[in-house]
Amino acid sequence: MKKFEADGKMPFNTLVCGDSGNDAELFTIQGVYGVMVSNAQEELLAWHAQHAKNNQKIVHASERCASGIIQAIGHFGLGPSVTPRDDLTFSNHMKKQMHPALEVVKLYLYCERWLRGDVENCEQVMQTLKSNFHQSGIVVHPSGVEKHLHECVDVLDKSYGCKQDCRIWVDQISSAQIGSDIWLVKFHKWELSGDVLQLCCLCCCKYLISELILELLHSSIAPMIPNIFFKKLILNVYCPDKCYAGMYQGGERHCCLTTVLLNAEAEGFTWMHIHQTWLNTTSVDPPSTWLF
């Protein structure tokens, strides 16, 4: 905090988090908000009862780990406390200051919900989705075939509810502004279906961290955090059992490296170009619903 102050870059708000007695010192920093997660050790709870019981800026969350942190963000009004996957209408993530990573997550979550039949089958929704893609935009399919983005939206429109057991997610997202209004975004896009295989604890933490980063991107402190901070955090966790990449067993699993060009406009992003390449771990037989 002293470093931020010396540089004249004091954050708007600061949230400190802890689960052990070693974290007690964090809660003594003047002006910060604090959260003790539900699985905090007794030594930290005892310190709080003795030294900070009446401090309204410190809360004991009812949720564990990263979920407790997100709960505190909502409790103190520091930013959205609902992840994009849990926000069925994206109402908590429709802000003017959008981020390319969130734009990507929103698109693929909506595609998943459409294919599963979890959202209303509405023609107006498809027209709105189509307006997010440039009329001459192209997607290069992992097989090498080029298609117009609007053509892919038309195919998606006819695929409503056709894969009720599918899951779609993205990871390893990185973004760079390469022009005044142009963003280059790279990520891995996964699409799979089948019976659920339980994730290991490490991969659960990895998922929660990625969701938390998305919340940070749209919190009030985001303007004060260097972009490189997010790049270093996003999905650098290695799972020895590789269960995050294969959390579905007995079904199909496909993944591709995806590169996207986005044009930033006043009302949001416009998708200009998508290029995809199969990863070595992916089957050569793509699903019929692989569109973007």
17-55 tens-digit pLDDT: 999 999 999 999 988 999 999 999 999 999 999 999 899
Left if phi > 0, otherwise alpha if psi is -120 to 50, otherwise beta: which for 21?
alpha
Residue 186 has pLDDT above 70, yes or no: yes
* Domains identified in the chain and CATH numbers: 1-78 (3.40.50.1000), 89-292 (3.10.450.50)
Confidence tier at 90 by pLDDT (50, 70, 90): low
Residues 6 or more apart whose Cβ sits within 8 Å of residue 199? 207, 243, 244, 247
pLDDT at residue number 243: 41
Confidence tier at 234 by pLDDT (50, 70, 90): very low
Sign of the torsion angle spanned by Cα atoms 243, 244, 248, 254:
negative
| pTM of structure | 0.64
Residue whose C-alpha is closest to residue 76's, from 203, 287, 179, 220: 220
Q: Residue 79 CB: number of other CB atoms within 10 A? A: 20
Extract the runs of DSSP E, i.e. beta strands, from the chain: 15-18, 33-36, 58-60, 133-140, 146-148, 166-177, 182-196, 248-265, 268-278
Residue 232 has pLDDT above 80, yes or no: no
